[in-house]
Structure 1
Amino acid sequence: MNMKKTLLFILIIAIVGLASYTALYGIEMGKVKITKVRDSIDLGLDLAGGVYVILEAETDLQGAELQRAMDQTIMVINKRVDGLGVAEPSIVKESSKRIRVELAGIGNPQEAIDIIGKTAQLQFIDPKGNEVLSGKNVKNSEARFQQTEFGDKPVVALEFDKEGSKKFADATTELAGKENVGERIIYIMLDGDIISSPIVEEPIKDGKGVISGEFTVEEANNLANLIRAGALPVEMKALQSRVIGPTLGLKAFEKSIKAGGIAILFIFLFMLIFYRVPGLTANIGLTIYVLIVVYSMKYLGVKLTLPGIAGLILSIGMAVDANVLIFERIKEEIRNGKSIRASIDHGFKRALTSVLDSNITTLIAGFVLYYFGIGPIKGFGVTLILGIIASMITSVFITKYLLKLTVEISNTKNTKLYGV
């Protein structure tokens, strides 16, 4: 028995075991703290819960004008979502006139839907129906408290740009000089609805204004967010929306992980029973494969979705298929009278072309799904790509190295240990 090779093999198993334990349970040693992978990987909408909505532009614009309007719409929606404090939203163009918005882990889904799709066309109208200025002239907006005789009330404070400041100063100067109270009103409208109608008592020349009303703190914050983000360049209609509760997502996640764990356990048993020593090395390789994939997802910021879990399990099957193909070739070489060491080299060499062909074609399919897919399809494509790459690394290189290491340790000629 080669003691150095034996210690090396034990060390590899120990490192893989420690990495697996850390991935499952995390580890804390003094100031060093590594969280478990489950807490570090971002969950997609279907697992974390949240809302998705598909918006369609109601416009006659075409070609470059439509493209420009949709790009501006995505920018505005991005700003609105940022104001909601949602981490890593997904806002993508689904077709020439459609936008898909996915917000995971959001507290008030219906409110989010209302804010996302609102046109938010802000206008300041004088008593004659003329537009004094619009939301395009608002440089900043924020929710504040204003002291009134009834206590502090939430309002939306506005700051106008240079052009807006001049327009507002001119309009308020003119209106303040009117004797009739009804002629001194400025109507503040959002998408055609009056949200405030203050009476102008004196000219306002500091470039600032206030929208007051019976707002709650949340309503004032949302209105400020809408105005700050700007109006949508085209009117958007919600074609489809769905709210997924976090409890439903958590149950789906738990069941998927459980199913995946059971599948891996049966794979391990199958490999050990039918392939003995090669099966053991394959199981170590598969464990390394899973670690490569989950840690890649963690550090690359890939969101885990239900289709993503399916892609992960599928790529595990691809990895097992590669190992089975290789081990069957090794068994054929042993039956032909070659030594175990020579059979391993020839078996891997004979199976390599088939393994690469099947993995590369699947990898191409994964890239197509990622590039052209949306939502869950893209999630499936990402984990499939990561899984196939990790599968090729473990099946072709790591498993071969471990298998040759076992031969060097024992130097056995017992072919039964290799499933023959």
Structure 2
Amino acid sequence: MILCVCKNSGRIKAVKYYRFWLGIIIIIVLFTGWVVWPDNPGLHIDALGLDTDIEVRQGLDLQGGSRVLLEAVEGLATDISGDELNATRQIVERRVNGLGLTEAVVQTQGSDRILVELPGISNRELALSTIQGTGLLEFVDFSGLGVNAPREGDCILTNAQIEQISPNPTCAPAEGETERREAQPRLDGTPYTTVMTGKGLDDAQAVPAGTGFNQWVVSFTLNSEGDSIFADFTGSHINQPMAIVLDGIVISAPTIQARISGSGQITGNFTKGEAESLAIQLRYGALPVPLQVAAFDTVGPTLGEISVNKSVRAGIVGVITVLFFMVTYYRAPGVAAALALLVFAMVNFALYKLIPITLTLPAITGFLISIGTAVDGNILIFERMKEEIRAGRSLDTAIQLGFERAWSAIWTSNVSTIIIGFILLMFGRTFGASTVQGFAITLMLGLVINLFTAVIVTRTFLTTIVTFAGGYLKERPALLGA
């Protein structure tokens, strides 16, 4: 009698334990269901400072776009520190975000390269010029040069370029040419004097010129330091030219008409796109390292649409097939596994949107493989259960031993595959192989989630089924797949 009481007491504790987990799982399902809802409004709570959109981030092969590999200008690669490369990456990322490409990927590659993925980009040339340009804006003293003053489009050498870029800086090729141009000093061989760089600017915006000829200018405001420098120089050089130079190229050389302070405009016969590109470069600062394009790749949106349709269809068919097999072959345990698999899928998709993870075809493949791994774990558990039932164990004992004895195999297989995924993640940090990263990330994430769903979620659902229909199942072992 005492043994019976102890046994019932242990069963009651187990039921309470799994009721607790059932409540946790229901909360997880409700939250992830809200996250994966197609028209999710996002998190916008002013009091908490939350302003986040929750949406699927599509990669190049799904959405179409461009992938560009930038590298340090030849001759500078060996002199770049890790901090300089990371600072350059951050500025490139801010410039890309300034273009409105919130789903872009910017990451370092090796010791002197930066990989930029631009999904859905419509103006390739504008994007390239925006992210590649060094963005070193200079106001250069042209006073006293007369007819020897450089013209618009000329590549000149300034002291700021020597200090911030290289002792021998170069400029972008002239129109119709392919070779970068060597910066030219004054006739006496000395560099031109930089009055102020873009560091003196507080903000820059592209605005219409107001001429009626579809011309744009860049309107800028000065910070306190820049205002002091600019006001002093313009006040003492009235009726003298001052050049506006970007990345070593003379944009314009207007004559100073009066003392300028607070704000000003940069003119240069800009189109709207060119003015916006320049404004973005000025807002987010000059690149510490000059960059050039090492490789370029384009993916068409038509291929992306076809890929999405086929991937979604394959995923749906695969999941339905697996669910049908589990329910048909394992009956009641299969129902628990099917419910756990749905929770597994919801948690995965929710994390894809929350982290967020850029979905590519390899990333979707990694998710589908992780589904197979999740099913493998359930199969190991259920086969162990069947062995215990056939050996004459009670249903409760068979469930307990099935999960306990399958755990080591599930843990070992998942961890070993996670290690392989980590190796793929490391090797995926090269141009052309970066899509492997998506596969590795979704695969590893799925395996980690599987360690939770295969044991806790499946067991909770199975225990709940046994709690309500245990007597019925004991009389019909076939419903347990035994």
TM-score by length of structure 1 reads: 0.80
Partners in 2 of 1:152 and 1:350 — Cα distance?
75
Tell me whether 241-250 or 322-331 shows the greater mean CA deviation: 241-250
User: Is the contact made by 2:136 and 2:198 (CA closer than 8 Å) also made in structure 1?
Assistant: no
2:253 is the counterpart of 1:197: yes
AA matched with 2:383: E
AA matched with 2:479: L
Corresponding position of 2:207: 144
- 1:238 Cα offset (Å): 0.9
- 1:25 Cα offset (Å): 6.6
Partners in 1 of 2:57 and 2:77 — Cα distance?
37
Which of 285, 290, 305 is equivalent to 1:235? Answer: 290
Partners in 2 of 1:72 and 1:160 — Cα distance?
23
1:200-211 → structure 2 map (5 Å cutoff): 200=256, 202-206=257-261, 208-211=263-266
AA matched with 2:290: E
Higher helix share: 1
User: Is the contact made by 2:138 and 2:198 (CA closer than 8 Å) also made in structure 1?
Assistant: no
Partners in 1 of 2:31 and 2:233 — Cα distance?
69
1:4-403 → structure 2 map (5 Å cutoff): 40-61=55-76, 65-125=80-140, 126=142, 127=145, 128=149, 129=186, 130-139=192-201, 140-148=203-211, 153-160=215-222, 164-165=226-227, 168-169=230-231, 172=234, 176-177=238-239, 184-200=240-256, 202-206=257-261, 208-370=263-425, 373-374=428-429, 375-403=434-462
| Structure 2 residue matching 1:312: 3-state secondary structure | helix
Corresponding position of 1:31: none
1:191-249 Cα shifts (integer Å, max 9, x gaps): 3433223233x343425442223222232222222223232222211112223334432
AA matched with 1:117: Q
Partners in 2 of 1:199 and 1:15 — Cα distance?
68
Partners in 1 of 2:449 and 2:346 — Cα distance?
9
Cα distance change on mapping 1:27 and 1:244 into 2, 3 Å? closer
User: Is the contact made by 1:145 and 1:154 (CA closer than 8 Å) also made in structure 2?
Assistant: yes
User: Is the contact made by 1:120 and 1:191 (CA closer than 8 Å) also made in structure 2?
Assistant: yes
Partners in 1 of 2:460 and 2:332 — Cα distance?
13
| Structure 2 residue matching 1:349: 3-state secondary structure | helix
User: Is the contact made by 1:132 and 1:167 (CA closer than 8 Å) also made in structure 2?
Assistant: no
Partners in 2 of 1:175 and 1:398 — Cα distance?
77
Corresponding position of 1:181: none
Cα distance change on mapping 1:343 and 1:55 into 2, 3 Å? same
| Structure 1 residue matching 2:269: 3-state secondary structure | coil
AA matched with 1:92: Q
Partners in 2 of 1:152 and 1:110 — Cα distance?
20
Partners in 2 of 1:72 and 1:19 — Cα distance?
37
Q: CA RMSD in A?
A: 3.5
1:277-324 Cα shifts (integer Å, max 9, x gaps): 222221122112112212232333333222221111111111111111
- 1:349 Cα offset (Å): 2.1
Tell me whether 57-66 or 45-54 shows the greater mean CA deviation: 57-66
1:125-164 Cα shifts (integer Å, max 9, x gaps): 413543343534541322233445x578421123445665
1:36-57 Cα shifts (integer Å, max 9, x gaps): xxx8322233323332211111
User: Is the contact made by 2:473 and 2:480 (CA closer than 8 Å) also made in structure 1?
Assistant: no
Gaps of 5+ in 2: 1-14, 41-53, 150-185, 187-191
1:99-138 Cα shifts (integer Å, max 9, x gaps): 1112333342332122111123333341354334353454
- 1:263 Cα offset (Å): 1.0
User: Is the contact made by 1:271 and 1:280 (CA closer than 8 Å) also made in structure 2?
Assistant: yes
Cα distance change on mapping 1:78 and 1:141 into 2, 3 Å? same
Cα distance change on mapping 1:316 and 1:209 into 2, 3 Å? same
Cα distance change on mapping 1:401 and 1:187 into 2, 3 Å? closer
1:353-392 Cα shifts (integer Å, max 9, x gaps): 1111111222334445556744433322332233112212
Partners in 2 of 1:27 and 1:232 — Cα distance?
38
Partners in 1 of 2:454 and 2:198 — Cα distance?
59
- 1:329 Cα offset (Å): 1.7
